[in-house]
Every structure is written in structure tokens, then in C-alpha cells.
Structure 1
Amino acid sequence: MAYDTTQDYINHHLTNAAMCSTENGIAFNKACADAGFWQWNVDTLAWSIGLGLLFIFIFRRVAKKATTGVPGKTQAFVEMVFEFVDDNVKSSFHGKSKLIAPLALTIFVWVLLMNLMDLVPVDLLPWIAGLIGQHAFGMDPADVYMKVVPTTSLNVTFALSIGVFVLIIFYSLKTKGVVGFTKELTLQPLPHWSMIPFNFVIELVTLLARPLSLSLRLFGNLYASELIFILIATIGFFQLPVHFVWAAFHLLILPLQAFIFMMLTIVYLSMATEEH
């Protein structure tokens, strides 16, 4: 696929495959620009759901076939990940809940799988999508979009963080009750009735900053990473050495971002279950 300018190339790779509803029916991509607020980024949905199902399939398959003898490579890897997450939950979560460990495992593996899509060559999957659109649907490849890293979308990172935020509120109310949670928001850090407005503003900002920081941290790191991979791809034939160096660096960064998201989730939920 030929692009007129480098900017066109970058914009194409950073554009989602969008679907929306209009007065004339279902519209796609450019036709969604003026359709209003609601649209579905079908590539983000497909890759995030698909990777989530892949996680469930692998771990369920390993659990059903697990043996007590010498484990195979896949079982050993799954057990290593499970023990890693379990150790971090035990050391960081001070309450009692059967949900936290499975939640932490799901967040870590799912976010990691979505992050790892950043290592796929940036032109490969969009090129395949363009061929499918051209030969199966008669579309111009320039009008076929495919953004393959779900965590470079604010929709995904905010959805994850909002889910965590709902659990924070749930555990806060469950542990402290409505009265206790209200006191936590209004009587600290300055425990005097005259400081209630000041305390409430400070604590509300702190509470809302948790999901905001969770989502923006993950999004910012992955979006910047994807953009750098795209810029490297514009070099042409000489991109390979630079690409491999940047990819090798990401073998540390991508798991680290999944780990940070998981750990902050555990810490925030642990704070929500502390009665004091």
C-alpha cells in the first residue's frame, strides 16, 4: 500500500477500524467521523476479546490437564505465573477476599497479552487486513484500518480502570459501611467539622485520581511505544536493527506495565478494605 506522505502512513496506522450507526444504517471508518459520539472500534474489541478468550482457553486447558508429576513446559509456565501473582497478592492485600487473586491474575495476563501485540511488526496485520478488504469486500486497502494493540486505546484502559474503581467503591462500602466511608471522605486528613469541605475535595480528588492514573499510565506508555515502532518503520530497509533493539527493550517494558497495573489494583483494593 502506497502513502503520499509519512504523516498519511502514521495516521493510517493510528486509526481504528470504526463502525457506527447512522440514519442510513451501519457505516464504517471515515463515514463515522461525523456520526456523533457513539461508535465501535471493532479492531480494539476483536483483539481485546480474542486475547481474553485465549487467556481463558490456555489456563483452563492447563488446569484440566495438570499433573502432580513433572509438569510440561506450558504447565510449568502457568504455575510460575500463578505463583508470582499469588505471592504479590499475599504480600500486598491485607484483607480477606476470594476475588482479589483471580482478579489480579486476570488483569496481569490479559494486559500482558494485549501489550505483547506491540511486538508484532506494525505493517503485517494491517497489510493482511487490507488484502482481505480488497479481495473479499472490494474495498480500497487505503480505507481498511487495523489497530492491533488494544492498550493503545483509551477506551480499553479506561474500561479496565473503571472496573477497578467500581470494586474500590464496593469494598469501601462493604468494609466501612456508608457512614464509615463518608467519614473517610470528610474527616481526614483534618478531623474537624469545619474542615469537612476541604477534606472532601482533597479525598475526592485522591479517589478519582486512582482510575485516572491507572488508565493514563498504561495508555501513555503503550501509545508512545506503538508510535515509535511506526516511526522506525518509516526508515525503510534499515529499520531492522533499530526495530530489534527497541523490541528487545520492550521485552522488559511490556510485562512491567502489566505488573504495575496489577499491583496498583491490589494496593487500591487493600486500602479500600482497611477499616481505619
Structure 2
Amino acid sequence: MAAEEQTLQGYIKHHLTNGQVALTDDPTNSFMVLNVDTLAWSIGLGLIFLWIFKSAANKATLGVPGKWQCLIEMVVEFVDQNVKDTFHGKSKLIAPLALTIFVWVFLMNLMDLIPVDFLPALAGQIGVATGAVESSHDVYMKVVPTTDLNLTAALAIGVFALIIFYSIRVKGMMGFIKELTLHPFSAKNPFVQALLIPVNFMMETITLLARPISLSLRLFGNLYAGELIFILIAAIGLFQLPLHFVWAVFHILVIVLQAFIFMMLTIVYLSLASTDH
């Protein structure tokens, strides 16, 4: 691996490889593998999110709020206003869900601003010091969870499950089936309508499945591309800091925007699922 690290291709490959633990002894079974770095950082950032908001709630005061309380209240009010403007159903889950998605995805995206060599190198040194590995190059760590398609797909699948749940809860099973089979094309003649059912079902199924796919790929693609640029900048070596700073300033917009888009699309999809046409 040391020889591979000396090349640009090897350097990039090393930074884009997840630290993995196989769940089976079969080396050909790539499905039964855990990306431990993705799990550790995403769960850790989720716990940080809970701690931040819990501590802010415990220290909240009715008097003059502090700067930290003001910031938390601004985030909560921002998300709450977007939910009120976009979600047209009735559910106490949507606003907390939207807040969790926005802040959690933002924190995971924010890891992209940390210099790409810092945390992996630190993990490598710890691994060598503890005797877990012989060389620091044997340690793989991706610190931006949203650059892992497995995580963005898992988030999107969770949203997709909620879409199905709300569709059936609001419209009933028959209403949900009718929505998939009687739209977008309809006819007054029952025979013609029966002929249109396969076409409607195919189009509505594609539309339904496109929602989680687009959610996961959009977030993954934008953050993966941004991380790749940071890696290429880091490969320059001595003069990387000025370029890293310039790209980081621009990338802040991407980090916030992608968290906002994921949140808003989730609200829109759940609003559509909660509307009984």
C-alpha cells in the first residue's frame, strides 16, 4: 500500500475507501460488510445534534436569550415556518423530522470542511501506536458520511417508508391502490379505463420510486464531488491551504443548500402523501 500511496491515483483511492468490517468469512460477499467509519461518524454526529439541542433547551430562559439560544431558536423557527408553508396535512411528526434531517445532514456535510488528511492520519497514528496495524496506510477512514451512497440511500429509504405509511394512513389501502392505477390518465368508459390501468401503474410506480432514488443520489453526488475536489487540492501538497480555503468558502453554500433541499423534498413528498385527492 505504501507504494500505491506515492501515486496520485493511490492517494485518491485511499481517501475514497471506507474502513470496513466483514460480517462473513466469504471474501466475495461484498454485501455483508459494514462501513464502520460511516456508521461511527453519522451516529456520533447524531448524538452531538441531540446534545446541542438538549443542552440549549435545558438552559433556555424567558428573559434575554443568549447567543447560542438565539441561534437554536432561529433554526427551529426556520424549519417550523417551512413546514407550515409546505406541509398541508396534519401530523406532529413532520416538524421534528424536518428539523432532525436538516441539522443532522448539515452536520454530516460540515465534516467536508475538515482537511482531508487530518483525521485519517490521526486514526492511522493511533492504530500504529496501539499495535492494531503495522502501517498508518492500512487505516481507511472517510469522515464525511454523506459521501457514502449507503448512508444517503438509507436516509432516502426511511423517507420512502414514511411516504408509503402516510399514503395508506390518509387514503386507505384502496385509495392508495387507486392513486397508483387511476392516475394520471382517466376515462369515463370503464373498458378504456381498465386498459389504462397498466400504463397508469407503470408511470405512477416510476414516479414513486424516483423520489428516494433522486433524494439519495442528489445528496451523495454533490458531497462526493466536493470531497473529491478537496482531495485533489490536498494532493498538491505545500500550496494546498489557500486553495482549500477558497473552495471551502464556496462549498459552505453547497453544504447548507443540500441539507435544505433534502429537508424540503422530504416535506413536499410527505405533504403529497398526506393529501387525499
Q: How does the TM-score come out when normalised to structure 2? A: 0.94
Q: How far did residue 180 of structure 1 move?
A: 0.7
- Letter of the 2:266 counterpart: T
2:259 aligned with 1:258, yes or no? yes
Question: 3-state SS of the aligned residue for 1:19?
Answer: strand
In structure 1, the gaps of 5 or more residues are 24-31
- Letter of the 2:195 counterpart: S
Across the aligned residues of Structure 1 and Structure 2, the Cα RMSD in angstroms comes to 1.2
Q: Name the residue aligned to 1:226.
A: 227
Quote the Cα distance in structure 1 between the aligned partners of 2:209 and 2:24.
34
Kept after mapping to 2: 8 A contact 1:214/1:261: yes
Q: Name the residue aligned to 2:13.
A: 11
Q: Name the residue aligned to 2:100.
A: 106
2:179 aligned with 1:177, yes or no? no
Kept after mapping to 2: 8 A contact 1:233/1:239: yes
Aligned residues: 268
Kept after mapping to 2: 8 A contact 1:15/1:147: yes
**1:88-107, aligned counterparts within 5 Å?**
88-107=82-101
2:57 aligned with 1:63, yes or no? yes
Kept after mapping to 2: 8 A contact 1:21/1:35: no
Greater mean alpha carbon deviation, residues 114-123 or residues 137-146: 137-146
- Letter of the 2:156 counterpart: S
Greater mean alpha carbon deviation, residues 232-241 or residues 213-222: 232-241
Quote the Cα distance in structure 1 between the aligned partners of 2:31 and 2:163.
28
Q: Name the residue aligned to 1:195.
A: 196
Q: Between the two proteins, what is the percent identity of the paired residues?
A: 67
Quote the Cα distance in structure 1 between the aligned partners of 2:16 and 2:185.
47
Question: 3-state SS of the aligned residue for 1:220?
Answer: helix
- Letter of the 1:5 counterpart: T
Q: Name the residue aligned to 2:190.
A: none
Q: How far did residue 213 of structure 1 move?
A: 0.2
Q: How far did residue 19 of structure 1 move?
A: 0.5
Deviations 1:59-86 (A, max 9, x none): 0111122101111111111000000000
Kept after mapping to 2: 8 A contact 1:15/1:146: yes
- Letter of the 1:163 counterpart: G
Tell me: CA distance 1:207–1:35, structure 2 relative to 1, closer, same or farther (3 Å).
Answer: closer
Q: How far did residue 138 of structure 1 move?
A: 4.5
**1:75-224, aligned counterparts within 5 Å?**
75-139=69-133, 140-191=135-186, 192-224=193-225
Question: 3-state SS of the aligned residue for 1:190?
Answer: coil
Quote the Cα distance in structure 2 between the aligned partners of 1:166 and 1:35.
27
Quote the Cα distance in structure 1 between the aligned partners of 2:172 and 2:24.
45
Kept after mapping to 1: 8 A contact 2:120/2:141: yes
Kept after mapping to 1: 8 A contact 2:42/2:108: yes
Quote the Cα distance in structure 2 between the aligned partners of 1:194 and 1:234.
59
The runs of at least 4 consecutive aligned structure 1 residues that moved more than 4 Å come to none
Kept after mapping to 2: 8 A contact 1:111/1:258: yes
- Letter of the 2:51 counterpart: F
Question: 3-state SS of the aligned residue for 1:207?
Answer: helix
In structure 2, the gaps of 5 or more residues are 187-192
Greater mean alpha carbon deviation, residues 134-143 or residues 218-227: 134-143
Q: How does the TM-score come out when normalised to structure 1? A: 0.95
Quote the Cα distance in structure 2 between the aligned partners of 1:85 and 1:70.
22
Greater mean alpha carbon deviation, residues 46-55 or residues 130-139: 130-139
Quote the Cα distance in structure 2 between the aligned partners of 1:73 and 1:174.
41
Quote the Cα distance in structure 2 between the aligned partners of 1:82 and 1:122.
31
